[in-house]
Amino acid sequence: MSHRKIIHIDMDAFFASVEQRDHPEWQGKPIAVGGNKERGVVAAASYEARKYGVHSAMPSRRAAQLCPDLIFVKHRFDVYKEVSLQIRDIFYQFTDLVEPLSLDEAYLDVTENKYGYKSAINMAMKIKKQIKETTQLTASAGVSINKFLAKIASDLDKPDGLYVIMPDEVEQFVEELPVKKFYGVGKATLAKMERLNIHTGKDLKNLSKLELAQHFGKFGTYLYDVCRGMDHRTVKPHRERKSYSLERTFDQDLETRENVLNTLHVLCNKLSEGLQKRSIKGKTVNLKVRYADFTTMTRAKSLNGYFNDEDIIRNICDELIEEFLESGNGIRLLGVGLSNLYDNDSDPQLKLKF
């Protein structure tokens, strides 16, 4: 049986880590973002502060009592937003099936991915590494066969974690899982479960679908599935796409004209395939070239109409690459993309049909 490969990524102590990154004097210290000694609530606590029991949503007066040296820091939403966009860009390099849940986390479906990688674990490591390189921050990853499991997994090895639940481990994992770890089980549900003597996934499994529905309503049907390790919810990408592109970095620099052109044509073919599969068309071809010394150049050319045909993309790329071939420098990265995409929302005809 083939399974989906789902990764859930969540940044560690997100707001607090960003503040410690940008203020070295706070590194290694207990800090809280939000509130002050007198009023407000803690939005995020650094790991050093958590040792004292300080956590998100705690009244900050209480936090100051628990940890007298706690440093209160004002939030900078614009910076968190920026980091959030940076990590999303990284996700989109791997797959288009990215479903952000909040600024600091997202589900990725990497069953099919832009690199054709087979190992989701490997990809999770690559994503974490790239997040670290780009933002100097750590993220934790959960890898498994569905959203329910991936989300639980990302929380089990924090910070800087990678937790994998393999298909053949799912059953035992869920049976042993305390119900408070089930996503969606809040305080009230937990109390009710305790009254019913339900403590683990195994206990849930002993109840019929009907019994679960009687006790928990619609949520009961969800519980019936997830305590069996099943979750059919798909990763739902929601973003307006601005461009679609592919790039490759090479272990050995491309030196000859023939080599560069062949590689470029393979990329054009893959790009066109990807575009056609997703019914995306655009007006502008973008070419990116990085030399061995990391100098990076981009070129673009637009046509009047929308297209995604391989031969059109290839002809434009051939034209754009020419100046780089003449330089004689080794090329370590090539990228091709399409932008100025066809936007359904701006098509009056499509708007009228529904």
Would you say 43 and 77 are in contact if contact means Cβ atoms under 8 Å apart? no
Binding partner at 15 among Ca ion, ligand DCP, none, C-beta below 5 to 8 Å by kind: ligand DCP
Nearest one of 111, 93, 110, 123 to 245, comparing CA atoms = 93
Based on the shown chain and the rule CB under 6 A, indicate whether residue 228 belongs to the binding site for ligand DCP. Answer: no
- How far, rounded to the nearest angstrom, does the alpha carbon of residue 12 sit from its chain's CA centroid? 13
- How far, rounded to the nearest angstrom, does the alpha carbon of residue 297 sit from its chain's CA centroid? 27
# residues near ligand DCP by CB under 6 A: 13
Restricted to residues 19-48, the positions that interact with ligand DCP (CB under 6 A) are 43-44
Based on the shown chain and the rule CB under 5 A, indicate whether residue 10 belongs to the binding site for Ca ion. Answer: yes
Based on the shown chain and the rule CB under 6 A, indicate whether residue 57 belongs to the binding site for ligand DCP. Answer: yes
- Rounded Cα–Cα distance for residues 167 and 3 (Å): 8
Based on the shown chain and the rule CB under 6 A, indicate whether residue 12 belongs to the binding site for ligand DCP. Answer: yes
Restricted to residues 245-274, the positions that interact with Ca ion (CB under 5 A) are none
- Rounded Cα–Cα distance for residues 287 and 299 (Å): 5
Restricted to residues 95-124, the positions that interact with Ca ion (CB under 5 A) are 104-105
* φ/ψ of residue 295, rounded to 5: -60, 130
Binding partner at 203 among Ca ion, ligand DCP, none, C-beta below 5 to 8 Å by kind: none
Encoded tokens for 350: 């499509």
Out of 8, 10, 96, 149, name the contact with ligand DCP by CB under 6 A: 10
Out of 4, 15, 179, 308, name the contact with ligand DCP by CB under 6 A: 15
Q: With CB under 6 A as the contact rule, which of the stretches 11-19, 61-69, 313-321, 345-353 interacts with ligand DCP?
A: 11-19
Residues 6+ apart with CB under 8 A from 315: none
The site string for ligand DCP over 78-107 (x = CB under 6 A, - otherwise) reads --------------------------x---
Shortest distance in whole angstroms from residue 103 CB to Ca ion: 8
Out of 5, 14, 107, 289, name the contact with ligand DCP by CB under 6 A: 14
Shortest distance in whole angstroms from residue 192 CB to ligand DCP: 23
Based on the shown chain and the rule CB under 5 A, indicate whether residue 14 belongs to the binding site for Ca ion. Answer: yes
Nearest one of 265, 250, 261 to 331, comparing CA atoms = 250
Choosing from 105, 211, 310, 323, the catalytic residue is 105
Would you say 60 and 36 are in contact if contact means Cβ atoms under 8 Å apart? yes
Residue with Cβ nearer ligand DCP (134 or 221): 134
**105 has catalytic annotation:** yes
CA distances for 69 relative to 52, 64, 242, 341, angstroms: 10, 8, 46, 53
Question: Looking at beta carbons, which pairs linking 89-97 to residues 24 or more positions away fall under 8 Å?
Answer: 90/127, 90/130, 90/131, 90/134, 91/9, 91/127, 93/130, 93/247, 94/123, 94/126, 94/127, 96/237, 96/241, 96/278, 97/235, 97/237
Q: With CB under 5 A as the contact rule, which of the stretches 3-11, 66-74, 230-238, 288-296 interacts with Ca ion?
A: 3-11
* φ/ψ of residue 179, rounded to 5: -60, -25
Which residues contribute to the site for ligand DCP (CB under 6 A)? 10-15, 43-44, 56-57, 104, 158-159
Which residues contribute to the site for Ca ion (CB under 5 A)? 10-11, 14, 104-105
Q: Catalytic amino acids?
A: 105
